[in-house]
């Protein structure tokens, strides 16, 4: 057993079907008196239920969110929170709602009660992101970590398949990279492998029967573990490529994950024989190739598998866009288990562009 250091985050988790009903009590537990409630159009109904629980403690309802948190949006939300003298935030929605809540916590030092409704996992990390121009800046600060997370799988029953599948792959990517990213230790690996098992087991069931609350619960549990694994380790080559693609071309964040993950893992696998053997077990292919298994799961789950099919700011991504992205990613990647240069990154992006099975 190698020595290790593990900073375990002090979050409170409330998990289970129907537990949205407890959000008001969780706000009270934190002493929130003037609450900013962040949601988007898709979570308006859940937000209405929470505003009834909050009653006169609701100081500001905010329903405008966007992926990658544009700086200009964060500034408007911050000004409104100052004006309303907000002392606590509840965010209901995917990573975009959580991301805006984190931007608020960063500037106003406010406690967050997060109610995630996708599998993005941001609610378990101290990572925040803000995008200005075409560049996404990320940072880490414990102040943005939600104090309480309420996971209610009932809120995910209406999540459309085209969001569910890629979002689950976003979660899967957190666990897979946590197996080797800096900060990895035996505890984070145990969480990550359990996360992979839960997602691998439940994702095909959820895609088949989106209203199956038990399967949705298992998928949300896997996403939660994956978020913890990401939050207590860090990101690697795969996430850096996705962040560059997201910031540069405004691709849907989760779609980029489902396309890139098998190819990033195929590249890193030769440097990680022990980790890949454990990953293959968790993906149900003992002794097999985890990169191919991830690609097969992507195909079986009907998630995007070709960069050529993804659209951003300027329409469909073009092959000519790839060298610039590889160059930008090469500047961001400082550590990787296998030495990687710009040409390698371009190779990964080109294989992902074609969508070939690794
Ligand atoms: P998102 O929050 O934009 O949600 C995706 C879509 O799903 C949206 O259209 C949303 O309206 C819809 N939706 C959400 N919940 C729904 C529900 N219950 N029913 C129906 N529709 C629903 O996207 P996301 O993929 O959840 O998160 C992506 C963002 O999160 C990106 O900005 C990414 O950078 C960030 N992120 C951050 C971290 C971190 O640790 N900081 C981790 C993962 C992702």
Q: CA–CA separation, 127 vs 124, rounded Å? A: 9
* Pocket around ligand 1 at a 6 A CB cut-off: 40, 42-43, 67-68, 93-97, 99, 117-118, 120-122, 125, 127-129, 155-156, 158-159, 163, 167, 170, 253-254
Over the stretch 159-206, which tens digit does the pLDDT of each residue have? Answer: 999 999 999 999 999 999 999 999 999 999 999 999 999 999 999 999
The residues, any chain, with a CB within 8 Å of residue 21's CB and separated by 6 or more, are 49, 53
Nearest CA to ligand 1 atom 24: 95
The H or E element that residue 111 is part of is none
How much of the chain, in percent, has pLDDT values that exceed 90?
90
| Token couple for 147 | 């104090």
pTM over 0.85, yes/no: yes
CATH 1.20.1090.10-classified regions of the chain: 162-354
In the chain, alpha helices (H) = 23-29, 44-54, 71-83, 95-108, 161-178, 186-208, 213-232, 237-249, 253-268, 273-282, 290-300, 322-332, 342-354
Interval 77-115: pLDDT, tens: 999 999 999 999 999 999 999 999 999 999 999 999 999
Go through 319-337 and write b for each residue having 16 or more CB atoms within 10 A of its CB, e for each that does not: eebbeebbebbbeebeebb
Residue by residue, DSSP assigns 253-271 as HHHHHHHHHHHHHHHHGGG
Chain region(s) in the chain for CATH 3.40.50.1970: 12-156
**C-alpha distances in Å from residue 65, one per residue of 74, 99, 124, 174, 313:** 9, 9, 19, 23, 17
Q: Which residues contact 297 (CB under 8 A, 6 or more apart)?
A: 172, 200, 203, 204, 283
Q: How is domain 162-354 classified at the CATH fold level?
A: Dehydroquinate synthase-like, alpha domain (1.20.1090)
Ligand 1 centroid – CA 247 distance (Å): 15
Contacts of 2 (CB under 8 A, 6+ apart): none
The residue whose CA is least distant from atom 17 of ligand 1 is 159
* Pocket probe mutation, ligand 1, options 67, 173, 229, max atoms within 8 Å of Cβ: 67
Atom of ligand 1 at shortest distance to CA of 66? 3
Pairing mode, strands 58-62 and 35-38:
parallel
Give the CATH architecture of domain 12-156. Answer: 3-Layer(aba) Sandwich (3.40)
CA distance 133 to 116: 27
pLDDT in tens, the chain (358 residues): 889 999 888 899 999 999 999 999 999 999 999 999 999 999 999 999 999 999 999 999 999 999 889 999 999 999 999 999 999 999 999 999 999 999 999 999 999 999 999 999 999 999 999 998 777 788 999 999 999 999 999 999 999 999 999 999 999 999 999 999 999 999 999 999 999 999 999 999 999 999 999 999 999 999 999 999 999 998 889 999 998 998 888 888 889 999 999 999 999 999 999 999 999 999 999 999 999 999 999 999 999 999 999 998 789 999 999 999 999 999 989 889 999 999 999 999 999 999 999 9
Q: Which residue puts its alpha carbon closest to atom 28 of ligand 1?
A: 95
């Amino acid at each position: 057993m190698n020595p290790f250091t593990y900073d375990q985050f002090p979050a409170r988790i409330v998990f289970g079907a129907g537990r949205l009903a407890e959000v008001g009590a969780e706000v009270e537990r934190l002493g929130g008196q003037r609450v900013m409630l962040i949601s988007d159009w898709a979570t308006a109904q859940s937000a209405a239920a929470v505003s009834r629980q909050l009653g006169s403690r609701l100081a500001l309802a905010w329903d405008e969110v966007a992926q990658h948190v544009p700086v200009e949006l964060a500034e408007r939300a911050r000004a409104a929170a100052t004006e309303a003298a907000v002392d606590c935030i509840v965010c209901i929605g995917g990573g975009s709602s959580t991301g805006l809540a984190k931007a608020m916590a960063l500037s106003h030092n406010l406690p967050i009660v997060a109610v995630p409704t996708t599998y993005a996992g941001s609610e378990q990390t101290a990572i925040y992101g803000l995008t200005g121009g075409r560049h996404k800046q990320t940072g880490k600060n414990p102040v943005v970590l939600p104090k309480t997370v309420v996971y209610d799988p009932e809120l995910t029953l209406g999540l459309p398949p085209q969001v569910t599948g890629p979002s689950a792959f976003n979660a899967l990517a957190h666990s897979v990279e946590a197996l080797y990213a800096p900060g990895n230790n035996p505890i984070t690996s145990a969480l990550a492998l359990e996360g992979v098992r839960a997602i691998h087991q439940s994702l095909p069931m959820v895609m088949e029967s989106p209203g199956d609350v038990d399967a949705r619960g298992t998928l949300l549990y896997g996403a939660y573990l994956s978020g913890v694994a990401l939050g207590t380790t860090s990101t690697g080559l795969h996430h850096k490529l996705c962040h560059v693609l997201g910031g540069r071309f405004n691709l849907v964040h989760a779609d980029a994950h489902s396309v890139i993950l098998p190819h990033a893992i195929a590249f890193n696998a030769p440097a990680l024989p022990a980790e890949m053997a454990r990953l293959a077990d968790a993906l149900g292919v003992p002794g097999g190739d985890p990169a191919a298994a991830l690609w097969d799961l992507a195909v079986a789950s009907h998630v995007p598998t070709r960069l050529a099919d993804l659209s951003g700011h300027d329409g469909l991504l073009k092959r000519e866009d790839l060298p610039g992205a590889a160059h930008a990613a090469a500047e961001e990647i400082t550590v990787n288990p296998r030495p990687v240069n710009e040409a390698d990154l371009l190779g990964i992006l080109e294989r992902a562009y074609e969508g070939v099975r690794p």
